[in-house]
Structure 1
Amino acid sequence: MTTIDPRPAPVRAVRVPRPRAGSPDPRDAELDRLRKENAALLAQERTRADELDVATRMLAARAQTMTSVIDAVTEQSIIGTDRDGVIRVWNPGAEKMLGLPRSEVVRQRSIVDFHLAEELDAQAETCGSAPGLAALVHAAHAHGSDVRDWTYVAADGQQRTVSVAVTPRTDDRGVHAGWNFVGTDMTEARATERMKDQFVSLISHELRTPLTSILGYLELVLEDEQPLTDEQRKYLTTVERNADRLLRLVGDLLFTAQVDAGRFSLEPHDVDLAGVVRAAEETARVAAATAGVRLVVDLPASGLVVPGDAVRLGQACDNLVSNAVKFTPAGGTVTLSLRSAWAAADGTVSAEGRPGASPVAQLAVTDTGMGIPTGEQGKLFTRFFRSSTAQRAAVPGVGLGLAITKAITTAHGGTLDLVSAEGAGTTFTLTLPLAAA
């Protein structure tokens, strides 16, 4: 049997050698080192705390600035979502447009709740994406941004046509975090456009029918075997000329309505531009002679053939030439020149061919007329716009010719450029791709 001694085992004392008199104590050195390290760590901690405090205040100030800017926008809706479409940002403009306060939307509703489901479904079929949010952001995801009209549905069921700019949103690390939707209410503007187009189309049709009848009967009267006095023939010729002018105006109105509605079509064939230019010169010859304006035609020895609609190209050329004659005072000159050239991928055109350039035809119509103010040149191709020089000189017109010419040129894959200075004349240059050899 083993006996356990209940007494604790004796503890042996360990002697720590004391430094000899006059020698440095190593414990003091170690304590000093630790004190220094502790002081350095405390200083580093204070520095990091200060830096963190500054960064926090900067982030808070930045967030406050962004919030104040977004909240200051009251006429546009600004909606931010996460990657799943759940709304995280809802500005006063969104509250006003869609009729819900921020507290009832943020983190509770999805952006697709305010869109027409059938519109999103149709977009999904068009772009081949999933319905819902994927269809809404498909183009922005592919191209970095997207702007188009959508139908927003407000809390009371009212529908609004809204031009929505969609862009992706990233976090501080550059990781995709969601989407931004900036909407501008275009309901009234689009309704006005539709009413204007309907009005133009209606009036054009209502005018064309009686004008065609008037011109038909005028032609019968003028060709009748019964003799007319010179005075009667003069009167009827004046009526016919003005009826023709009205008919052209009606045609222009119908054409612009077709362009705006996307119903403008071409009947393409190979067209010799030289023949188009000669026909335009012949058409403008009487008006130019009456106005005392000299017409000069400069054509290449061989024709330049382009793919296009001969009637529409003739209309575009006629518009440029008639405009040049109208804006050139007596004694001036209008020059029609046709040349072949080369167009590079960046859009620059030169007389010499370069690698990668495509052959084009350039028709330039130059006048020595009153010119166009620099500040107005950007608006010149806008429907119904007339320059201040035209208004001061009381030049007749309604401002449709150049808008039509621009639309025809664009439909043919070409460009229409102008160089002008007030009082120094104008040059319009129509550039079209040549037909393949």
Structure 2
Amino acid sequence: MEPATPVPTIPLAAVTVDADGRVLTFPRSAELLLGHARSEVLGRTLGELIVPARLRDGTDDPLGPLYDACAGPDGEGHRELPARHADGSEIPADLLVTPLNGGGYTVVVAALAPRADVRRQSEWFHRALVGRSPVVMLVFDPDGRWRWSSPAAVRLIGPGAPSTEAAASIVHPEDFGTIRTLFAAAVDAPLPGGGRLSGAEPETVEVRLRGPNGTDWRCYALTIQNLVDEPAVEGIVIYAIDVTRAVDAERREQLHSARIDTLIGSLRVGILVEDPDRRAVMANTALPRVIGSPVPAERLIGEHTAELLPPAELFADPAALREETLRFLEQGRPASGTEFTLTNGRVIARDYAPIHFDGAVAGHLWVVRDVTDQATIRRGLEERNRVLAEVATLKTEFVAAASHELRTPLTSIATFSQMLAEEPEAPGDQRQIALEAIARNANRTLRIVDDLLTLAGLEGGTLPLVLRGVHLPDVVGEAVDAFAEHSEVTVDLAGNATGPMLRVDPARFRQAVEALLTIVATAHAGTRIDVRVTFAAAHWTVRVGSPSALAAGDHLFTTGDRGAGNALSFLIARAIVSRHGGQLATPRGGQTDAFAISLPVRPHLPEADA
């Protein structure tokens, strides 16, 4: 065999050949590596040029098997063999053959270092790695005798065999038992072919060791592995890596997460964090309580929230909720939501904030607040303001009507009294007319005062109610009959006669219904009045109205012959209904809507009225 030539400066060359293995291209790197001139090898078979004669099998092209291997599953041929140099020497080489798309092959010839050099370089390579590695490594015989320490181990516990005193100075007393247990388990591991001492999967634990300068305890990830069956080791190896920074960072992160979890968990508002696919990654315990869901927060994690929190089951208007949700997600910026009513009657408000990371939306944050009390207070204030505005209007009209009603009889009384005083000798028939006018207007004034006192007693709660169980349609029917006796207006009474008994003051309630009938009859002179009595949703409803709307310029509360007119009558009717725990709605001007009395089946009445 020809002697091996030294490894050339150019250790790699790529040669292309046709389908028959004849050289098509022979670059400069190939000339330097193999010693042939390009002009001498073009068209010749590459195998005849580089494969030593002793390795040829008599075929036309000794590289034929590598070309054939390209048709296999790997799509390439590979082989290590000595490559023949032009001067007759041999170069340890690695040949890699890959096919070309248009036919032919590319043959990469890579020079290999002699095996002795490879082994030497491998030793240097691993020695350099271990010498600069921060990993603490100790090698022991199975019987516990020390054999070798890595440079990092020497820096930690000193050179030579680690003594018991040295180990005691760097190992935390509470971790000695853990290390002994791991070492014993590694020694007692079974061999693959039977017996003991094998490379079983090692366990990694955290132990505390003192730093090289005797500083505070540091955390190391320690692994003990049985490498007795490895010829290059034949021992028990202890690996230790300083993970103090990683452990401290993890603990800081855990502490931060615990603080965040505690903060979110203590909030009374519902918190929901979703990933970009709308799957829940965090939910506090308040969330199900706020939205009235029986699904606990922990069950939401990892699930699409719409599946476990279906809007159609929780929200009175799920379509509006979906529309707002899509709008928030499309806008991609923080927003405060509107109020939504739940199916259980409570009211919530929902806020949204996208979670951004690296310039993209990494999730969604939803904050849900129970605003039932605020909504109730606000709606109560709105209703109170509406009522106050209505009462102010009515009282203005009442003052005008009462002033007119009082002025008329008082003027008559003053006029006739003055006449009697100035004409004491007036004829008897004239004096009689004057006295009757004075009496009639005095009585009218007294009735107005009585109505004012009644209103004051009803609004102030000083006028007691005499309650008893009645069938409301019967009481309304009595009021309609009483009204029909002194009115020529047709009253149409209808409605369902079924419903529970209701505790009311029949006389006062009839008074309220008659007052509404009088107001409608006065405002819609000469028309029919419709009265409807119905029961639904635990409420009795009495509607009193006219089929025709008010004419232009007409007014609902005009003065009449009884009391201080319709304004005073309405205020009295309203006070009676309110004392019974109900509500009286007025018709809207210019429309056919009727007065509507709404009474709950069990009104909350003061004890004095019970």
TM-score range, shorter chain: 0.3 to 0.5
TM-score, normalised to structure 2's length? 0.27
Structure with more helix by fraction: 1
- Pick the structure with greater CA Rg: 2
